[in-house]
Structure formats: C-alpha cells, structure tokens
Chain A
Amino acid sequence: MKNNFKENKNNFKQPLLKTPFYEMFSKEMTQGYWYDWSGYKAASIVQDQELEYFAIRSTASLFDISPLIKYRITGPDTEDFLNKLTIRNVGQQKNNTVQYTIWCDDEGNVLDDGTLFKFNNTSFRLCCQERHLPWFIDTSSGFNVEILEETNLIAGLSIQGPTSAAVLINAGYQSIDQLKPFEMIKVTDDILISRTGFTGDLGYEIFLPNKLSTAVWNNLWKAGEDLGIRAIGFNALNIARIETGFIIANSDFITSEHAVRNNRAKKPDEIGMSWMVDMTKQYFNGKAAIQKARENNENKFIFVALEIDGKEPADGAIIYHNKDLEVGIITAATWSPTAKKSIALATLKLPYGQKIKSNLWVEIYVLRELEYFKMMKKAFIVKAPFVKLSRRNLTPPLRK
C-alpha cells in the first residue's frame, strides 16, 4: 500500500496510461486525436471519422475498450449481492450471457450503467464507465463475495460491423457462430467473446489477458485484411451509438456521485430506463425511493429520442415549446449517415415529452465563417433506435 502511494503521488504529472493495444492504434493513427478515457490514452479519430463510421456500418471496425472499468465478482453470495446492487433481476439471467444494467444510490438516483457478464451464479464480471469499488464493498456488507478490480489486467477489443463475424471465424474463433445477441463464449481458455457492442450492428467484444493482446490483434488484423477491417476512434462509435439510442454516463445523464447541483442526479425512470427496473424483486438498493417517486409522481424528467428538421446537428441545443418556453436540452446529436436525418437524444422537463409531445422546437446556432446563423428547427419525438438493422440479431450471423 505504501509503495503504491509513493508511486502514485505524482500521477497528475505523469502522461496518460497506455492500453495493451496502444502501440497498434498508434501505428494506424495519422492525426493524433487522443483523449483521456479513465486515465488511459484513447483514440478519438484514428485516420478519418467518416471512413471509421462506415467501417462500423459496412465492413468491420476495431475499437479499444481496454479502459472500461472491469470488476470480477465471485463467491457464494454473488448473485444475492448483485441483486441488491443492481435494479434488474440477476437470478433470471442465464449463464454465459450479458445484461445491460444500472445501479442506484439510496435516493434511487443512477450511480452508473454497465454490462454484467454472468459466467455462473458465483462468478460475474461487471464493466462500467466509472470506478465504484468503495460503493461495491459497502454494498457487499453481509454477503460472502470477493470483488476484484481487473481493469488493468484484462484488455478489451470491440469488433463491430457486418463482416465482424466473418473476421472472427477467419481468425479461428469458429464457436462464435452459435452466439445469439448478449451471449458469450470462451473461445480459448483465456479469450472470452460476447456478442455485444455499442453500435446496434452485428458485433462482438473480446476480453483477453494483456499478454495476448499482440497475438490477438495480429490475428484479427490478418483475418480482416480482405474484409475491410479498420481501427476506429470514439467519434465514429459515438455516431453509431446515437443512431441506436444508447446513452453514456456523464454525457446523457449525470451520475449521482458526480452531480453537485439539485435535480441533476436522475432516477432510471428519468433517463429512459424504466423498463429495466424490476419491481418484482424483493429488494434492491434504491427500490423504495424509486417506488415512492412513481407513486407520488415525483419524477421530473423524461428521456426522449428526437428527429429534427434540417441537417445541422443540434449538439447541446435548448428545446422550446411553442418557440418560447424552455422545456429541455439535447444531450447528444448528430447527422445520421444511415438514417439520413438529423437526430438527437434529449432530456425534457415533464409534462413535456409525456403529455405534451408536439410543438417542440430546437434552437441551433451554426458558425459559418465567423458569423452565427441562429435557426429554430422543429423536433419530433420518435422511438429509438433511429437505425434498426436486422443483421444485429440474425443467428447464425452474416458471414460476409
């Protein structure tokens, strides 16, 4: 412990950490667009944002997910512990599957979202955006479980796109052929592949020990040579995830540990995750608060998907009712190259978005050669995803 402290004392002066795939991405990188993801150097754009987006939608893309915070949770009470921690029913989750989940504080406000990998009822992996070890340890009081943060032990690579299955099979991982969405399989003793991703497309995530990163990368790169494989950065992924309607913590909602101001922390019902709350569970952290908010109509916000007239992206724009009353904000927006529309994810103050759904306007400012153009564009509430692809769920998957 002492040594660790010494080592980390000057960590703010040190450069960002490098993931096990850093060298590979660095080799592809032409522009130098790096950003800080949980203390790791991660690519925003590797070569060209649009080509990278179309790799997701037309061929195969490789995205480094090693900076994901990963916890390994084991022990006889693991399932009970996770049922207390998270709002979904872990008992109903089948072995070797992945479930998207959320956990809340006492007030029912969302602490984070993440993916829960179930090996069996005494062994899970939880992947998320932020670090939560103190919360997990305090939540585990009374449960016989062991929680290990394995972020820096396990590397991750996301391969997404119509040819992603073909690349994996080419690379020798034939057993992924049988995977349905949200299922996972160990293709070797060390390598775990799940049919998951953040794109709404056919895609897989690969988890492996750091030491295998070079071998796996080379294997995939070679297998994908003729299948249009491309290393991508977050910007391209971000477009794909907005098209699918996926949310990102501290971008589309503020996690309760980060929220400073009143009203900023949000309940699952306020970020579009009502479907996830399992009220039939005997108990979970925050259940009473969520129930009370529902019974007393205390929820103040609603999360919606918007289609907006015109083609200018509406990032961060204010939403008006009848062009004059502020009723919400856009948290993520893009021009969707696949839907060919300006799309957005937004938070509206109730009753707008629920009882009052029409006459919504978005105020967009566009800077063109040092002059602002201000426009009021009409917005329509639609059902996400904006882009729905049948290949996402097809089993066995597309081979080409």
Chain B
Amino acid sequence: MQEVPMKSYDVIIVGAGHNGMAAAVKLSKSGRKVLLLESSSKPGGMAVSNEIFKGYNTATLPHLINHLSSKVIKELDLFDHGLEIKNKIIPSISIDQNHNHVFLNGEYGSNVEGINSEDNHSWLKLRKRLFNQANLLKRFISNTPINQENISFLGKLKFIKAGLDLRLQGKEEFQEFFRMILMCVADVLEEEIESDLLSGIVSFDSTLGIRLGPRSPTSLMGLLYRFSGEFNGQQGVQIFPVGGMEQLIKSFYASVESSGVTTLFSQTVKNFIIKDGKIDGVITKEGNEYKSRIVLSSVSPILTFLELIGTKRLDTGFIRELKSLRYHGNVSKLNLALDRIPVFEGLDENQLSSRIVYAPSIEHVEKNFNPSKYQELPTDPNFELVFPNRFDQSLAPNGAAIASIIIQNTPYNLKNGWEKSREKLQNDVLSRLESFSPGIKKSILASQFLSPQDIENSFNVPGGHWHHSELQIDRMYSLRPVFKCSNYKTPLSGLYICGSGTHPGGGINGNSGINAAKQIIKDINN
C-alpha cells in the first residue's frame, strides 16, 4: 500500500530561516507535530550561502554572527549538531588611507591599538558604560514583549527590576542612561573620543542596516542593540563558525531533522486557509494544501499580512499601522572571488582575519548617509569587509580569497533606478578598495552583487530589508512589528509571527523563533 502523505499538523511554520527552524525545534520538542515549509530548495532564508565561483563558497548576505545567544544554542543543541566555533573573537579594523589603522581587539575594543592614551582611557570608560546600558536591554531580548494582551505581574516586575538594578549602580549611571538613551551616537562620541577612525567605525556600527546617520537622534540605540549580542558570555563580539555561515545553518537544520520536524522544500505558501475567522492551514503555489489550526509565519510581516492574508481580510486600522512600517532596505552586498590573497598596506596577512571597516570619520559616515535621504547613492560608500576564507580555509582554493562586502546607505528606491546605478556603486567600492590594496581589482575572478531590490526578489522579502523592517526605537520591543502583534500573536486567531520583523529583531539571533514557540505552547496549554 502506498503511503499517503500526512496533510494535517499541530503547527505549520512558514519559512525555514534560522528563526523558523528555531521555533520548529522548540515546538517539536514540546511534542507537537510540526511541518516546516520553505519556498527555496534549501534551509537558511536570508542566511544561506552559495558558490560564487567554482570552489568559492560564501554567505550570500550576513557574513558574521553577533547575536546568537547561548540560550538558542542550548535549545537547539547546536554544538551537538555540527556547530563549531574556533577562533572565537574576530577583531575589527578601522582602515585609514594613510595606513594608520585603528585596531579594535577583544570584545568590541576591550583593547584598542592606534589611538593615543587619553583616547584609550576615555574609550574604555565609554565602552564600559555602553556595555552596561546594553545589558539592561539584553534582559528583554528573550522575553515576549508586554502589550495589551500580555500584561503580567512578572512582566512588569522585570521592568521594575531593571530600573532598580540601574539605580543601584549609583545616581550617575542612572542619570546617564536616561540622558543618553535617545541621543545620537555622534554627540556621545564627540564628548569622549578624539580619534576620527575610532569614532568612524563606532558610528558605522551604530547605523549599519538602518536608515539613520550618526547625527540622527536615537542612533546610539543601534550600537546598544549590537552590544546586547553575546556569545559564550562575551559581549559585543563577532564570531565565525568552522565551515562558514553555511555550517551554522546546517547545524540549525540538523537540529530540525533530529527533532522530528517534517520539512518540505520548494513549497511557497500562497495564502492561508481561514475558516470561521480562524486559521485552518495554508495553500502553496505548488497546489498543495496543508491543514493546521496554528500557523507560525517567520517571513516578513509585510508579506505575512498584506500578501498572505491580504488587506481584504484585515481591519482597516491594522492595515494603516502596517503600511506605516518602514520596510525598505538600505544595505547592499558585494561578494568577490579573488585569485590571490590581497595585500593591504599596513596590514600583515594574519590581520586579514578581521572585520575591516571603511568609515574614516563621523563626518564621512554622516555624509555617506545624507544622499540616501534623497534616494541617491553616496560617492564614496562606507563598507564592512571580511575575507571568510581567512577564518576557514576550506571556503576557497589555497592561496585565493573571498571578499565579502556589506555596503551601507544604498536605498531600495533610487532616483536613477538600480539598473543604471549598480555598476557605478560597485566601481566606487572597488576603486576605494584598490586604493588600500593595489591590484585587488585585477584579481577578481567573479563577483556577486545584491541591491535591496535584488534581495527582495531573491529572498521574497518585500523592501529587501535585512531586518524585514527598520529596527529603530519606535519599532522595538512592544512596538515591533506593531503594538498589536508584538507578543507574536496576530489579529487572525491561530496565526503567529516570528522572524527579524518581530522582537528582538535582526541579526542571526533565533530568539524571536524561540519566543514565538513559547507563546504558542503557552496558548495551547491554556
């Protein structure tokens, strides 16, 4: 007798990105029958890798980890499923045209080379304060945000406790927190730091991935969010897994497989089945129907609501809120296959195992941001560069290199259109790179470029935003993606959401998947 494929599940999860996979494992371990649907042919979502040239494997988009919490690693037993981290902390370099580079070693510059001793002193003081402030925010990352449906005594207590802990650190820290929390990063840096290169890289890191410049109010929040990430108790660090980002996703998927989740690839959810005002399953473009009373969508909130449910079935006030989301991306990616290991003046070969940032000053970063307000590209773009095969040699042939470059301030909508601008943007970045590493242009064997519009098309993320929608203070915690569904529940009974568009937000994180799964388990048990 032929086996009839099972079509009814306890929970269906839309999208096998890392958050979808994290949720799948958590739910499956709680004894639920889980179906994971993925539109592409492999897991990973926006964190997939690809071969850009024969023998050159690299992460298509994000190339480092800075938010993977130990809680998520533990929930998914990632270390038992193939995740291995060797050279744990990746240093950062703020590169200088005159080769007086600044090196941030340790946990985000616990030890900085290339600045004077006064700056060093001020930086360590500032860094300590910022880490401390980030720690306050970190407490809320693995919690479901408080909203109109989710107000518990314990939830409130958490706030009170955070406030109390802050106060107990003394009056100064308490006052400084409230003074600084909405400040722009430029003002904070100018109070303390003289070095342009140090201020430049910190400004860049505060605003990477969002549409703010260092002089925009609240831009410090981006830095605090970055510092709220940790690995193995080390705060604000970037790490790279053995085998590359692909191996990280493989470990997620191995965990999914071993927990008994059914995963189907090349199944693109077209719309939801709604029965008596409640969700009752999904229909795929491939023509399949899967039944479930609970659906967890890990794709972008815009896609989930405006396309998969559709505005006809959503309350008008809710549509208004969703349409006000800023979900147009600002970041492009350039991946290069190089036939040799590039030479950077002022850096030895070992130092190429770093995160290299081109952001020479606050002013430079601010001027980079300005054109994006008018749908234009910067003339001398800031970027972050890593050579993934320097962390793991297996990713490219011996003696060769992959350059993975994140380019900031490249808006989704361009006045001149992307078709006319993509060549110029790449050339501008490469020319700048050439000035640091003469000959690098000639060594390019192949390149892969993704603008926000390309990201939208390749990854099915409306707007092509790396975080699904802007991760700014007005869209964090209870307000992410909007107040009504910040507890991962939606106005459509039985439909839940997770992913970068929900709390806590972007980065390879996994917390939103785990939080949403917990919410579902709680609701089922009630």
Give residues in A with beta carbon < 8 Å to B.
80, 84, 105-107, 135, 138-139, 141-143, 282-283, 285-288, 291
A288 and B493 contacting across the interface, CB-CB below 8 Å: yes
The 3 closest A-B pairs by CB, nearest first: A106-B317, A141-B311, A106-B315
Distance from A86 Cβ to chain B, minimum over Cβ atoms (Å):
12
Give residues in B with beta carbon < 8 Å to A.
274, 277, 310-313, 315-320, 491, 493
> How far is B316's CA from A105's CA once the two chains are assembled, in angstroms?
7
What residue of chain A has the Cβ atom nearest to residue B492's Cβ?
A288
Q: Which residues of B contact A138 (CB under 8 A)?
A: 316, 319-320
B318 and A106 contacting across the interface, CB-CB below 8 Å: yes
Distance from A91 Cβ to chain B, minimum over Cβ atoms (Å):
15
Find A282's partner among B277, B317, B318 (CB 8 Å cutoff). Answer: B277
B316 and A285 contacting across the interface, CB-CB below 8 Å: yes
With A282-B277, A288-B491 in contact, is A141–B313 under 8 Å at CB? no
Pull 11 A–B residue pairs with CB atoms less than 8 Å apart, ordered by A: A84-B312, A105-B316, A138-B320, A139-B316, A141-B311, A141-B319, A142-B311, A143-B312, A287-B277, A288-B493, A291-B277
Distance from A200 Cβ to chain B, minimum over Cβ atoms (Å):
33
Given contacts A142-B311, A286-B315, 6 further A-B contacts (CB under 8 A): A105-B316, A105-B317, A106-B317, A135-B316, A138-B319, A288-B491
What residue of chain B has the Cβ atom nearest to residue A282's Cβ?
B277
What residue of chain B has the Cβ atom nearest to residue A281's Cβ?
B277
Distance from B480 Cβ to chain A, minimum over Cβ atoms (Å):
19
Pick the most buried of B277, B315, B316, B491: most chain A CB atoms within 10 A of its CB: B316
With A282-B277, A288-B277 in contact, is A142–B315 under 8 Å at CB? no
With A142-B310, A288-B491 in contact, is A283–B277 under 8 Å at CB? yes
Q: Which residues of B contact A287 (CB under 8 A)?
A: 277
> How far is B311's CA from A211's CA once the two chains are assembled, in angstroms?
40
Q: Which residues of A contact B277 (CB under 8 A)?
A: 282-283, 287-288, 291
Distance from A277 Cβ to chain B, minimum over Cβ atoms (Å):
14
> How far is B319's CA from A106's CA once the two chains are assembled, in angstroms?
10
Pick the most buried of B311, B315, B317, B493: most chain A CB atoms within 10 A of its CB: B315
What residue of chain A has the Cβ atom nearest to residue B310's Cβ?
A142
What residue of chain B has the Cβ atom nearest to residue A284's Cβ?
B315
Distance from B320 Cβ to chain A, minimum over Cβ atoms (Å):
6
Distance from A90 Cβ to chain B, minimum over Cβ atoms (Å):
14
Distance from A115 Cβ to chain B, minimum over Cβ atoms (Å):
21
A283 and B319 contacting across the interface, CB-CB below 8 Å: no
Pick the most buried of B312, B313, B318, B320: most chain A CB atoms within 10 A of its CB: B312
> How far is B320's CA from A325's CA once the two chains are assembled, in angstroms?
42
Pick the most buried of A106, A107, A283: most chain B CB atoms within 10 A of its CB: A106
> How far is B274's CA from A213's CA once the two chains are assembled, in angstroms?
50
Q: Which residues of B contact A135 (CB under 8 A)?
A: 316
Distance from B318 Cβ to chain A, minimum over Cβ atoms (Å):
6
> How far is B318's CA from A142's CA once the two chains are assembled, in angstroms?
14
Distance from B442 Cβ to chain A, minimum over Cβ atoms (Å):
52
What residue of chain A has the Cβ atom nearest to residue B275's Cβ?
A282
Q: Which residues of A contact B310 (CB under 8 A)?
A: 142
Q: Which residues of B contact A286 (CB under 8 A)?
A: 315
What residue of chain A has the Cβ atom nearest to residue B493's Cβ?
A288
Find B312's partner among A105, A106, A142 (CB 8 Å cutoff). Answer: A142
A283 and B317 contacting across the interface, CB-CB below 8 Å: no
With A138-B320, A282-B277, A283-B277 in contact, is A80–B312 under 8 Å at CB? yes
Distance from A268 Cβ to chain B, minimum over Cβ atoms (Å):
15
Q: Which residues of A contact B316 (CB under 8 A)?
A: 105-106, 135, 138-139, 141, 285
Q: Which residues of A contact B320 (CB under 8 A)?
A: 138
B313 and A283 contacting across the interface, CB-CB below 8 Å: yes
> How far is B311's CA from A84's CA once the two chains are assembled, in angstroms?
10
Q: Which residues of A contact B312 (CB under 8 A)?
A: 80, 84, 141-143
Q: Which residues of B contact A282 (CB under 8 A)?
A: 274, 277
What residue of chain B has the Cβ atom nearest to residue A104's Cβ?
B315
> How far is B310's CA from A286's CA once the two chains are assembled, in angstroms?
16
Q: Which residues of B contact A143 (CB under 8 A)?
A: 312
> How far is B317's CA from A106's CA once the two chains are assembled, in angstroms?
6
Distance from A191 Cβ to chain B, minimum over Cβ atoms (Å):
34
> How far is B311's CA from A142's CA once the two chains are assembled, in angstroms?
6
Q: Which residues of B contact A139 (CB under 8 A)?
A: 316
What residue of chain A has the Cβ atom nearest to residue B317's Cβ?
A106
> How far is B492's CA from A106's CA once the two chains are assembled, in angstroms?
12
Pick the most buried of A84, A141, A143, A288: most chain B CB atoms within 10 A of its CB: A141
Distance from B323 Cβ to chain A, minimum over Cβ atoms (Å):
8
> How far is B493's CA from A105's CA once the two chains are assembled, in angstroms?
18
Q: Which residues of A contact B315 (CB under 8 A)?
A: 105-106, 285-286, 288
Distance from A50 Cβ to chain B, minimum over Cβ atoms (Å):
45
> How far is B312's CA from A143's CA once the two chains are assembled, in angstroms?
7
What residue of chain A has the Cβ atom nearest to residue B321's Cβ?
A106
> How far is B491's CA from A80's CA once the two chains are assembled, in angstroms?
20
Q: Which residues of A contact B311 (CB under 8 A)?
A: 141-142
Distance from B317 Cβ to chain A, minimum over Cβ atoms (Å):
4
What residue of chain B has the Cβ atom nearest to residue A103's Cβ?
B316
Distance from B314 Cβ to chain A, minimum over Cβ atoms (Å):
8
Distance from A79 Cβ to chain B, minimum over Cβ atoms (Å):
12
Distance from A288 Cβ to chain B, minimum over Cβ atoms (Å):
6
Pick the most buried of A283, A286, A291: most chain B CB atoms within 10 A of its CB: A283
Q: Which residues of B contact A288 (CB under 8 A)?
A: 277, 315, 491, 493
What residue of chain A has the Cβ atom nearest to residue B491's Cβ?
A288
Q: Which residues of A contact B493 (CB under 8 A)?
A: 288
Q: Which residues of B contact A80 (CB under 8 A)?
A: 312
What residue of chain B has the Cβ atom nearest to residue A135's Cβ?
B316
> How far is B274's CA from A390's CA once the two chains are assembled, in angstroms?
46
Q: Which residues of B contact A141 (CB under 8 A)?
A: 311-312, 316, 319
Q: Which residues of A contact B318 (CB under 8 A)?
A: 106
> How far is B313's CA from A84's CA once the two chains are assembled, in angstroms?
8
Q: Which residues of A contact B313 (CB under 8 A)?
A: 283
Distance from A105 Cβ to chain B, minimum over Cβ atoms (Å):
6
Distance from B82 Cβ to chain A, minimum over Cβ atoms (Å):
44
> How far is B280's CA from A282's CA once the two chains are assembled, in angstroms?
14
Q: Which residues of B contact A106 (CB under 8 A)?
A: 315-318, 491
> How far is B493's CA from A106's CA once the two chains are assembled, in angstroms?
14
Q: Which residues of B contact A283 (CB under 8 A)?
A: 277, 313
Distance from B495 Cβ to chain A, minimum over Cβ atoms (Å):
12
Distance from A131 Cβ to chain B, minimum over Cβ atoms (Å):
15
What residue of chain B has the Cβ atom nearest to residue A289's Cβ?
B315
> How far is B320's CA from A286's CA once the two chains are assembled, in angstroms?
14
> How far is B201's CA from A52's CA once the two chains are assembled, in angstroms?
80
Distance from B525 Cβ to chain A, minimum over Cβ atoms (Å):
20
What residue of chain B has the Cβ atom nearest to residue A136's Cβ?
B316
> How far is B493's CA from A287's CA once the two chains are assembled, in angstroms?
12
> How far is B315's CA from A207's CA once the two chains are assembled, in angstroms?
32
> How far is B312's CA from A285's CA once the two chains are assembled, in angstroms?
10
